[in-house]
Structure 1
Amino acid sequence: MLSDAVAADPRQLALLDPGPPTGPRPGLPGILPFSVLRTDLGPWRDRRRAWEDLGLNSRRGREHVTTYATDNAFGRKLAAVNDGLSTFDPVLAEASYAWYCPDGGKILDPFAGGSVRGLVAANAGHHYTGIDLSPSQVDANEEAAATWRDRDLLAAEPQWILGDSADEIPQLASGAYDYIFTCPPYHDLERYSDHPADLSAMRWSEFAEAYRTIIAESVRCLAQNRFATWVVGEVRNSTGYLRGLVQLTIAAHEAAGARLYNDAILVNTLGTTPMRLGAQWSASRKHGRHHQYVLTFVKGNPRKATAALTHP
């Protein structure tokens, strides 16, 4: 459970005692850097609820996003569970920043989406730069940041750049960022827009080419001896085979000079998985997926990258 001080003053959310100095600095009681991250357990749920109580709303600005087919009763039933939209977990963002980003570090997010990653970063005093194609999404994020600023919940100013990461990131300075943290489109699992530069609207071959380019440019912007974390999930093609988004992400980073250092499984709450499982298992033996992959890469020497962190 959160301390009484935090319950009384939510501005202290990111300032919890990190625990014994000899242990990892998660800043999150009961949440440790294991290779399986359990979002369905009490400590994680309690922490997420505390963030939600601050008014995080990752669906604002995403009203135009399409996902499950809603032209049939079953699709509408699925969409009704969570508005049909995925949401980013603030606890994963908070933990990742604590584990891999120097205090007050500069964070680059090539696929910003909602406001969660930016607000959580700025709450902890990190300097966040996110890039997104959607004007309505960027507007919604800036409005959310203004609200948090008025409530004295920001220790730094988050920035969102409107544009295509493939165009915007090459304009950023090499080695300017201390950490990359992002969650890219899972190809066409969710459709964000019809913009020609939107990866979710591309054919797989086009997606893969653009994706490799963005990863390469992101790694270029990452300082030497620093970490990068990409949260990805697998997707299937039209015939049901897994496309290999995880492998693509790893290969693109390796080619760009950042090596895979840690991999973790993020166990999500079940959501609509039980509703989908029966039909898909009977028809095709597809598992009910309710996990993502948290892939952390290092550019340079991992020990030096660890030493660059200004906390234990």
Structure 2
Amino acid sequence: MSQLALIDAAPVTTGRALPGIQPFSVLRTDLGPWRDRRRAWEDLGLHSRRGRDVTTFNTGGSFGRKLADVNGGLSTFDPVLAEASYTWYCPDGGQILDPFAGGSVRGLVAANGGFRYTGIDLSPVQIDANEEAAADWRARDLLASEPRWIHGDALEELPELPTAHADYVFTCPPYHDLERYSDHPADLSTMRWATFAEAYSAIIAETVRCLARDRFATWVVGEVRNSTGTARGLVPLTIAAHEAAGARLYNDAILVNTLGTVPMRLGAQWRASRKMGRHHQYVLTFIKGDPRKATASLSTP
């Protein structure tokens, strides 16, 4: 199998250090080692934007702009974060559960490293695009395992999975209505905040049930604002829902994203409202059970 190892310095294998990328609480995607690693993944051919053509971006209540027209489609997931997270938190060949699968990146990176991956997504177009990307990687001998995508609502599909099914949960949920993915009534990005919070918390509870004991879960989230400009509280909601389900917050990190168009938008935004230019996300890792036992299940560099 042709892994990223053949292009870059470190194999995509659990427990092996990635060159220049350390488990610090500030993850610098804007620095050379991270950029180089991401470029190597992109050179393999990651089609994370396929299936997302209808996604639109909330610009003050208007959903008229496609993400592909906003900073080049900035919502695509960073493959280096997926690779590093799998390496740090998932046992060799472990089962990864992703209740908000979205694009193909997380599944392809997992399968390239020999992890078993199950992703759930509401969009049949997105599922087809992911399967198409996986077929391409399979034909080029880039998959050490077979990623699995389930078409459906996570609220309905997760209860069908066995208890203790997963060795690691890794996902990036909708940031409420920041990006709108469809008009489907089960799409969290279309819901009012109270309804969103209830459904979101129920999905988290199901992922914790599906997670084996003494295992980790990582959620990549960003804060969002309501119509008056104040923060909704998506980050504390994520923490509270995990705690209520029996998983405790273990690590919290800041993912520093590239600036993109933030400097161009900042001037008017700051003068009018004192809103800072946001170019980071939160990487929240939870533990179900004993963190020492969870760590003992992992390979050590």
> Please, what TM-score do these two structures have when normalized by structure 2?
0.94
- Which of 7, 15, 33 is equivalent to 2:23? 33
Instruction: Return the offset for 1:14.
Output: 8.1
Aligned to 1:48: 38
| Number of residue pairs aligned between Structure 1 and Structure 2 | 299
- Secondary structure (helix, strand or coil) at the match of 2:179 reads coil
Structure 1 counterpart of 2:253, which letter? A
Structure 1 counterpart of 2:110, which letter? A
Counterparts of 2:299 and 2:256, CA distance in 1: 29
- Which of 2, 6, 10 is equivalent to 1:16? 10
- Secondary structure (helix, strand or coil) at the match of 1:292 reads strand
Matches within 5 A, 1:1-312: 10=4, 12=6, 16=10, 25-69=15-59, 80=69, 82-312=71-301
Instruction: Return the offset for 1:13.
Output: 5.2
Percent of aligned pairs sharing the same letter: 76
- Secondary structure (helix, strand or coil) at the match of 2:119 reads strand
Instruction: Return the offset for 1:223.
Output: 0.2
Instruction: Return the offset for 1:80.
Output: 3.7
Q: Mark the runs of 5 or more structure 2 residues left unpaired by the alignment.
A: none
Structure 1 counterpart of 2:243, which letter? E
CA contact (8 A) 1:107 1:179 kept: yes
Instruction: Return the offset for 1:27.
Output: 3.3
Instruction: Return the offset for 1:310.
Output: 3.4
Counterparts of 2:60 and 2:148, CA distance in 1: 34
CA contact (8 A) 1:215 1:252 kept: yes
Structure 2 counterpart of 1:215, which letter? I
RMSD over aligned Cα atoms: 2.4
> Please, what TM-score do these two structures have when normalized by structure 1?
0.91
Counterparts of 1:95 and 1:169, CA distance in 2: 25
Counterparts of 2:170 and 2:61, CA distance in 1: 35
Counterparts of 1:311 and 1:168, CA distance in 2: 34
- Secondary structure (helix, strand or coil) at the match of 2:204 reads helix
Runs of 4+ in 1 over 4 A off after TM superposition: 68-72, 75-79
Counterparts of 2:133 and 2:12, CA distance in 1: 27
Instruction: Return the offset for 1:245.
Output: 0.3
Counterparts of 1:78 and 1:164, CA distance in 2: 22
1:76/1:204 CA distance change after superposition, 3 Å: closer
CA contact (8 A) 2:16 2:300 kept: no
